[in-house]
Structure 1
């Protein structure tokens, strides 16, 4: 089972992550949304498409744009649609 944790809280947990470019993308049903707040940040990837971000919030601590997802990825990345990946100190184990 792969877990994403920050500040002692499990943000997501699954044995069905998709690994793309070294990042574990967690399926939507494995993400604990109570720790996420929508961000206005967006980026673009030439082969995955438009990317959106979440701030991770645990016990009043905010990790800005620490999680990202592709709501409507290009066909080559269809397997990560809606899946969430992490960075900025979020531990993947």
Structure 2
């Protein structure tokens, strides 16, 4: 999954993540792991519906992807390279 990351796309997504504490918490929780929505909810204190809605939005923006889309339960999500780069820049800016 090695697509060239567009600089404009990175900055647009940084803004998209920074305006939503929920989306940021989810990206940060996933980081370099693969996790289920229930694990994200437990770790962040968010409701499962919030997590599911945010994952849907993050997936549309190509910041996360589902590793086993066909599964009806136990879906696993991971950050894309774009998602990791956006998160890295946000974290770097906080220092």
Q: TM-score, normalised by structure 2?
A: 0.25
Q: TM-score, normalised by structure 1?
A: 0.25
Question: Which structure carries more strand by proportion?
Answer: 1
